[in-house]
Structure 1
Amino acid sequence: MRYSSALVLGTVVVGQVAAANLRHASFHARRQAEASKRGADDVDWSKVTYDLSGVDWDKVFPTPGASSPPVETPTPAPAPVVAPSEPATSEPAKSEPSKTEPVATKPTTPVTVGGSVSDFSYGVADVVSRLSLKGPGVNSVTPNGGIWIGTDSAWQTEFTNDGSGDMVVFCWQANGFSGMSLNVNLPAISVGLKKGDSVTVSFAEGVPSSCSGVFSDTKLALFGGIDNTWYEVTFGSQGAFDISRNVNMNGNSISAKGSKCVSDMTTCVFKCKDSSVSSCETGYEIAGMDAAGCGGGFDSVMNGVGGGCSMGATGESVKVTFS
C-alpha cells in the first residue's frame, strides 16, 4: 500500500487473476431566529373602551321582591327492590395506571445485533468532537449494499477490543479515494467498544472498504483519515484483506485472522521499508509474505506492490482484534 504527497488513502483492490496477484490499492492525493410574541402585559389598557349601552341591567340585577315563576320539584322515582343475596367479599379496587405515566422505550440499538455491544454510540460523540469528524457513522443494521452491523452477509468481520482502554471502531467504503477522509464524509460504521466488547459488521461483496480504531490518543491525519493502523478488505471469491501500517507505522496493533490467512503487524502486512519513518508514500512492501495464504503481485492501479490475505470463495469471516 502506498500514498502520494497529497495524502489520500485507498483500500484493497480485488485481484483479477490468482491469489498471488491480489492487488492492494493504497492511499493517494486529495485534499432562524424565532419571532417573539406579544403577551397580555404588552396591552395598553388605558386605550381600551367599553360600550355597555345595550345591556339590560334589570336582567342582570333583578328588582327585589319581583315574582319568579315557581320551580317544580321533581318527584323522586321509587327505589328498585333488590332481592337479598349472599354478602360478597370486597376486594380493594385496583388503581388504573395514569395515562401520563412514562412508557418504557426500547433501546435504539439491540444488544443482540452484531456482538456484545449494548450501546453502539458509546464514546462516539466525544471522538467526533475531538477529531472534528463529519459526524457519527450511519450504523445501518439491515443489508444496504455496502457496510452494516449484523451477520446477514456471507462476508463479515468481527471486531474485538483487546486493548487496555475504550475505543471506537470506524469503517468506511473507499468510494474511489475519498471515503477515508472522515472530516468531510460520514463513515458507514462507528461503534464504541469497551475493553472486551465485540461487534460483527457485514460487507457487501466487491466493496473496497477500510476500518480503523480510535483510542484516547489517536489523531486525525492531514488528509482527514484516522492516523492509526488500518484493516483493509474487499470481500469476494478473489478478494483480499490485510493490515496496513503505511499511514502510521507506530499505530495500535491489529490482527486479522481469516479462514486461510493471518495478517498482523509483522505477517502479510503493508509497511514502510524504512522502519525509522512514521509514514510512507513510497518505499513500502508486504512483510511476512511467506505466511500461508498471503499473496503478492503487481498492483496495476497503483503501479506498485500489491497483495494480501486470500479468502473463501463463497464467504469469509475475519476476526479482527485491536490491542
Structure 2
Amino acid sequence: MRYYLGWVGLLFLPILGLGRSMSHPPGVAMPLADTAKEAHHRFQLIPLPVIFYTPETKIAYGLLGVCLFKTDSTARTSNVDFAIIHTQNAQTVIEPTYTIFTKGEKYLIRGMLLFTKFPELYYGIGPGTTDDEEELISYKSLRAYNRFLRRVKPGWFVGVQQQYFKTFDISRSSDRQLPAQTLIGSLGSVVNGLGVASLVDTRDNIYSPVRGWYADVSFMEYGKLLGSEFGFTNFLFDIRHYRSLTPNTVLAGQFYLNLNLGEVPFKQAATLGGSSLLRGYYNGRYRDNNAVIMQAELRQHLFGRIGGVVFAGVGDVAHKPSEFEVGDLKPTGGAGLRYLISRKEHLNVRFDAAVGNHTHGFYVNISEAF
C-alpha cells in the first residue's frame, strides 16, 4: 500500500495564539470598564497559512481559519471554519462550515458547503479488499449540508436536516472492468435527501471537551421525488463521552455507526479512515454500505500550551449489518501532540501519528479528532 500522509508537512504558524479582536456591534451601549474585555472575547479570527505534501497532491498550500463568536453570554461559542487549499496537481478544496448557537441556545444551526476537485484512491467495496485492487479515481464534487434544530430541553436539540451531493467529471486510472454493483455512481451521481435529527450536546467546549456527552442520531431519506438519481436510506449514530480523570487528564470515547439501505453511490458509502475516524487508515481504504467504529483517546496537558495524547480504536465495514464480525475488526493506535492556539476556546492544533493493520498515517489539523 502506498505511504499515506494525511495533513503532512509544515504548518506555518506566525500568528499562533493571536486572535484578532473586533469592536462591539454599533448601537449597543456598554459600560466603559467592560468594553475592552467584551470586545476581545466577542469575536476572534484565527487564520493559519498552511503548506503540506502528500503523494496524491505533491506540494499543497492554502489557508485554514477559524472564526469564533458568541450570540450572547448564555450561549456556547459559535464558529465558522473555512479551508481553501490548492495543490501542485491543480487540485482544489473549498470548505466553509458553521455551527451557530442562537441567543439562549434556543436554536442550533449547523452546516457546510464543500467543493472538491481531488483524486481518491479506490480499493473496491467490502471489508476484504486488497492493495492489489488500488486505483486512482478523479472527480469533482459539490456538497451542501444543513441542519436546523430547536432545543427541547437544555442540551437536547431536535429538528430537520438536508443534504445535496453531486459527483461529476469522474475518471479512473484503471481500465479494469468492475461489476456494476461495486461502483454505483461510477459515471457521476446526484443525490438529495431530507431527514430528521436528534442531538444531545452537553459538552463544556465544542473544540476540546473536558466533560459531557455528544449523541447525534439521525435519519435521512434520499429519493427520486427529491431529485436523487439513486434511492437509499441512511441512519447515523455518533455517540461520544468525555470524562475528566484529573485536572489535567481527559478520557474521550466514541461509538460511530453508519447504516445505508438501498442503492448507495460509492461516494455516499460508509468508510473507515482519515483524520477523525480510525486514524492510520487511508480515508476510504475500506468502504461498504455500513461501517462501525469504536475509539478512545487519553488527553494529557503537559506544560504551557503543550499537550499529549494516546489513542486506540477498532472498526470495520460490511454490506449488511448482520455481516459484522468481531474477529474481523481492524485495529489502530497512535499518539500525538497538541499546541493550544486559543486559551479561551481551548482550541488546539493537533499532530497525530497512527498505525493500523499494514498501514500508517501522520495528520496535522485544527481541533480534536472527536
Give the TM bin, normalised by the shorter chain. Answer: under 0.3
State the TM-score, normalized to the length of structure 1.
0.25
More strand by percentage = 2
Structure exhibiting the larger radius of gyration computed from Cα positions: 1
Could you say which structure has the greater relative contact order, defined with CA pairs below 8 angstroms and 6 or more residues apart?
Answer: 1
